Structure 1
């Protein structure tokens, strides 16, 4: 077999391959055997039809087509290995010559990973938010905990802001009660915004037994998006009572004996959260600067596939779980279709460039993924998917996605290398040292995963 490679552009090549006909022998034998099992010829037992009879009855062309289809992947793979290219996706194959008994010639055009020169990242500098936990932050945190331990007591008065009311609801569109437009015994906290627009104004001032009618656009159900006439009846009013902020509350709501200890713990937790946010912010900003330094061409077909994958995942998985259509989502986001298309393409370009650049750094720095790093990553991915680690691991193995997880961790390690080399200062001018963060690699893997999305730039041969 002879092959040659021609570079069409930085991300696409054309392989030209010539195969002597004798190298098709195994595939020809397999083709005759396969056709033998599929056809019957009078006078011959199934599977025992001579090759010459198959040629006469069904045509040599059918045999050659079967043999070539069987052999092409093998010859293509050999040509790829010989040319030392890294193909992305499936090739476009064109058979240019097929002479029976003499020669098979074909071309294969395929996208390839571009050659990337890792830029000098030692001079990257970024600024991040300073870690500041105020007394107001502590009070807000404790108040949220206090809200969780609020009690409700029935009252014989008109409903007011913050009260918990029990409601019976009936929704009509064009004068007809909707099939799913009746709900009884609905508990609602006035002012929470968890039900229909306009319901707060309707129920405030009503006592138990009071009714009101208002118009509201339905947020879901069979008449989603339509204006409905909603009748609401208040069947009970209850006032929410918050516990006193004292040591007794601290003992009720936590493992601490005093309110001061509870507040100190809240401060520590908020500092840890802000520290994590700061590290994530540093990783994101360092990655942005790193990408700006590099020249990274993006294959057109790969970009098209990535954009389509992101749209599909959003529309059929994320929005589907929330019961939202893409049109409704864009309406809620205040975006036009054109803005959504542009944003999705920009995110896809960034995701592909991130994979290319960090994969190149992984190779250059010879970064290896240890078993404990992979295990930690698997546990986190399992938790975010709602599956047990065993279930997630089984699904990963069965789906052949172990290399994908290894790639995610490796890119996280690569980004961590760049972040450690960068200068990170906070808004107070203080240098931020992220090297002591035990979860730095896993946090970096999360940052990379958020940028690259679920799609994986895979090599296929």
Structure 2
């Protein structure tokens, strides 16, 4: 077999391949065996039909077609190896010549990873929010815990902000009650703003048995995005009573003996949380600065596939779970279809560029993933997906997504390498030491990479998903 590589542009090549006919013989023999098992010819036992009879009855062309289809992936793979190229996705194959007993010739056009020059990134400097925890932050956290231990008692008075009401709801659109627009015995805290716009105003001032009607735009369900007339009836009004903030409360709500110990624990947790947020912000800003330094050609077919994947996952996974279609989503977001498409393209481009650049850095720095690192990442992904580690691992293996996880960890390590070489300060001018907690830094780096590469909720990795088909020829 002879092959040659022609560069069409920085992200696409054409392979030209010539195969002597004798190299087709194994596939030709396999084609005769396959046809033998599929057809019947009077006078011959099934599977024992001579090749010349198959040629006469069904045509030599049918045999050649079967043989070529069987052999093409092998010859394409050999040409890829000989040409030392890194293909992305399925090739476009064209058989240019097939002379029986003489020659098979074909071309295969395929996207490839572009050659990327990584510049010196040690001069990157970013500023992040200071990881400061104020007394007010601690008060707010303890206050939320206090709310969880509040007690309620039914009162005979008009409902006011902070009260918990039990309500019945009925939504009408164009005068018709929606099938999914009726709910009874719903508990709602006035002022929480967690249900329908206008509900707080409607129930405030109503006593048990009182009714009000208001107009609002529905956020979900069969009529999401449409204006509805909602009738609310108050079944009961309950006042919330908060426990005293004292040592007794601390013992009730936590493992601590004193309120001061509870507040210090809250401060420590908030500090850890803000440091993680700080690390995440640093990773994202360093990544943006890095991408601004590097020119990355993007394979157009890969980009089109990534855009389609992201759009499909949004429509058929995220929005469908909310009972919403894309048109309704765009209306709620106040976006035109053109704005949405442009935003989706920008996100897809950034995701692909991120993968290419970080993969190149990982290659240059000889970064590898240990079994422990992969296991820790798998457990974090399982937790975010709401699955047990065993369930998630099984789904990953069955879906052939192990390379995707390895890629996420590797790119996370590559990004962490760039961050370590960058100057990170906070808004007070203090130098931020992200090495204090390597685990948080690694987790933040992987999260930043996932955020750029994810396609909807599946988090599919655009590049590995394409590369897994590199040995197929159609």
Q: TM-score, normalised by structure 2?
A: 0.94
Match of 1:390 in 2: 390
Match of 1:241 in 2: 241
Matched, 1:272 2:272: yes
Matched, 1:416 2:416: yes
Match of 1:441 in 2: 442
Query: Is contact 1:409-1:442 (8 Å) kept?
Result: no
CA distance in 1, matches of 2:303, 2:172: 47
Match of 1:165 in 2: 165
Query: Is contact 1:190-1:200 (8 Å) kept?
Result: yes
Closer, same or farther in 2 for the Cα pair 1:387/1:154, shift >3 Å? same
CA distance in 2, matches of 1:99, 1:291: 50
Query: Is contact 2:221-2:323 (8 Å) kept?
Result: no
Residues 125-162 of structure 1 show CA distances to partners (whole Å, capped at 9, x for unaligned) of 11111121112111111111111111111111111122
Residue 42 of structure 1 deviates from its aligned partner by: 1.1
Residues 335-381 of structure 1 show CA distances to partners (whole Å, capped at 9, x for unaligned) of 22111111111111111111111111111111111111111011111
SS of the residue corresponding to residue 435 of structure 1 reads helix
Residues 262-314 of structure 1 show CA distances to partners (whole Å, capped at 9, x for unaligned) of 11111111111111111111111111111111121110000001111111112
Residues 36-63 of structure 1 show CA distances to partners (whole Å, capped at 9, x for unaligned) of 1111111111111111111111111111
Query: Is contact 2:121-2:422 (8 Å) kept?
Result: yes
Match of 1:212 in 2: 212
Match of 1:155 in 2: 155
Closer, same or farther in 2 for the Cα pair 1:214/1:432, shift >3 Å? closer
SS of the residue corresponding to residue 375 of structure 1 reads helix
Query: Is contact 1:156-1:237 (8 Å) kept?
Result: yes
Residue 227 of structure 1 deviates from its aligned partner by: 3.6
Closer, same or farther in 2 for the Cα pair 1:315/1:45, shift >3 Å? same
Match of 1:195 in 2: 195
SS of the residue corresponding to residue 428 of structure 2 reads coil
Closer, same or farther in 2 for the Cα pair 1:284/1:250, shift >3 Å? same
CA distance in 1, matches of 2:65, 2:33: 14
CA distance in 1, matches of 2:92, 2:378: 36
Q: TM-score, normalised by structure 1?
A: 0.96
Query: Is contact 2:413-2:442 (8 Å) kept?
Result: yes
CA distance in 1, matches of 2:221, 2:321: 14
Closer, same or farther in 2 for the Cα pair 1:422/1:186, shift >3 Å? same
CA distance in 1, matches of 2:183, 2:38: 62
SS of the residue corresponding to residue 111 of structure 1 reads strand
Query: Is contact 1:180-1:222 (8 Å) kept?
Result: yes
SS of the residue corresponding to residue 3 of structure 1 reads strand
CA distance in 1, matches of 2:278, 2:219: 36
Match of 2:260 in 1: 260
CA distance in 1, matches of 2:216, 2:244: 38
CA distance in 1, matches of 2:288, 2:426: 17
Query: Is contact 2:404-2:460 (8 Å) kept?
Result: no
* Structure 1 portions without partners, runs of 5+: none
Closer, same or farther in 2 for the Cα pair 1:132/1:152, shift >3 Å? same
CA distance in 2, matches of 1:306, 1:330: 20
Closer, same or farther in 2 for the Cα pair 1:415/1:70, shift >3 Å? same
Count of aligned residue pairs for this structure pair: 461
Match of 2:90 in 1: 90
Residue 197 of structure 1 deviates from its aligned partner by: 2.7
Closer, same or farther in 2 for the Cα pair 1:436/1:195, shift >3 Å? closer
Counterparts in 2 of 1:215-364, with a 5 A limit?
A: 215-364=215-364
Query: Is contact 2:247-2:259 (8 Å) kept?
Result: yes
Match of 1:452 in 2: 453
Match of 2:127 in 1: 127
Comparing 141-150 with 166-175, greater Cα deviation is found at 166-175
CA distance in 2, matches of 1:395, 1:234: 46
Residue 174 of structure 1 deviates from its aligned partner by: 4.0
Match of 2:109 in 1: 109
SS of the residue corresponding to residue 6 of structure 1 reads strand
CA distance in 1, matches of 2:293, 2:28: 52
Closer, same or farther in 2 for the Cα pair 1:225/1:438, shift >3 Å? closer
Matched, 1:186 2:189: no
Query: Is contact 2:163-2:238 (8 Å) kept?
Result: yes
